[in-house]
Structures are given as structure tokens and as C-alpha cells.
Amino acid sequence: MADHNEFGKIAEELAADFLVKANYKILARNFRYLKAEIDIVAETDEYIVIVEVKARHTDAFLEPQESVNKKKIKLLISAANYFIEENNIDKEARFDIISVLPNQQKTLEIHHIIDAFQSFEI
């Protein structure tokens, strides 16, 4: 398996652990619908939270969340709608991004961007 795939799996595991510690309930991981994949579907008292996990070995070129483009957002929305309908969920959806980057000490640091697509025009 390629190094970047392994790093991605580690980042998703860290993100899921982070959410659980923050009292989110994980409903699904790596949920696929058509051409879309949702990294993590979680739940709070108020929301179904669709989480895109972005990891990089460095932020020299882009912050991880900057790689989420309009096409990716549309795919995530489509998959989220399907998941919500198929599971008869009656909660508002929210889209978050969790980025995982090494810090100065070379340990992985998590940044949780809540409601990340709020100001994004689709």
C-alpha cells in the first residue's frame, strides 16, 4: 500500500477518535454512494455531521481543507442526502472538515473546521 494511503488511514483513525472524545457518535466510516465517499458520518444531539478528513505530510503548498473543491462538495452533499434518506434521519446535516498535519514537533495535529461549507457557493 502506498505511503500516502497509509497516512490517510491514520488520519481518519485520529479524526474518528477525536470526534468520539468530543461526544460525537460515529454512524459510518468510508460510506460510498455512486462516485462519492464520506470519510465519517457522525451524529450530535442536533446534527448529522458529514466529515471530510484531509491529511498532508506538509502544508507547504495548500492547507488540507483547501483541496475540497466544488465538485467534491457536490459529491458529498449527494452522498449525505442518500445516507440521510436511507436511514430515515430527521436531523439537519452539517459538513465539517478535519485536517491532520504534522506540527513543528513532528507530531500530528488535528484542526476541526465546523460547518466548513457554510460560506462556499455551490
Between 63 and 95, whose confidence is greater?
95
State the pLDDT at residue 68. Answer: 78
Band (39; pLDDT cuts 50, 70, 90): very high
DSSP, res 64? G
24 C-beta neighbours (distance < 10 Å), count: 18
pTM assigned to the model: 0.85
Q: Which CATH class is domain 3-109?
A: alpha beta
60 C-beta neighbours (distance < 10 Å), count: 6
28 C-beta neighbours (distance < 10 Å), count: 15
